[in-house]
Amino acid sequence: MASTAVQQTEMKAETTKAEEPAKVARHQEVGHKSLLQSDALYQYILETSVYPREPEPLKELREVTAKHPWNLMTTSADEGQFLGLLLKLINAKNTMEIGVYTGYSLLSTALALPDDGKILAMNRAII
């Protein structure tokens, strides 16, 4: 029996809900909150374009952060590079960051600022 458009939409919503736990788990594994629907495409972009340009200190920080249970909070490598690009485009010299976590965006910022740049960063006490 042919299903109506409403039934098809409901079936699709059910399928999407069923896929959600796997997607969330994968996102936690890679530590990102991408708008991309395809993890495979995101992974391809990371491996072919983002990671090869990532400075060694950021790579080390990313790898350590990935082992932390709250790693979903981190800025991802692609976000960090985009942040660095924006800071360079506006010739930023002074930045303020509220919410540091393990410092991926902070270090990305530091690497993008000129030698006389200044960063003010703060994080609430973690008890």
Ligand X SMILES: C[S@@+](CC[C@H](N)C(=O)[O-])C[C@H]1O[C@@H](n2cnc3c(N)ncnc32)[C@H](O)[C@@H]1O
Residues forming contacts to ligand X in the complex (CB under 6 A) are 73-75, 98-102, 104-105, 122-124, 126
Closer residue to ligand X (CB): 42 or 65? 65
Residue closest to ligand X (Cβ): 99
CB of 5 to ligand X, least distance (A): 39
Closer residue to ligand X (CB): 8 or 123? 123
> What CA–CA distance (Å, rounded) separates 102 from 106?
9
CB of 53 to ligand X, least distance (A): 17
Per the DSSP assignment, residues forming a β-bridge with 118 are: 94
Buried/exposed code over 53-74 (b: 16+ C-beta within 10 A; e: otherwise): ebeeebeebbeebeeeeebeeb
CB of 115 to ligand X, least distance (A): 22
Closer residue to ligand X (CB): 45 or 66? 66
118 in Cβ contact with 79 (< 8 Å)? no
Taking phi over 0 as left and psi of -120 to 50 as alpha, with beta for the rest, 101 belongs to: left
Closer residue to ligand X (CB): 35 or 122? 122
CB atoms within 10 A of CB 99: 12
CB of 2 to ligand X, least distance (A): 47
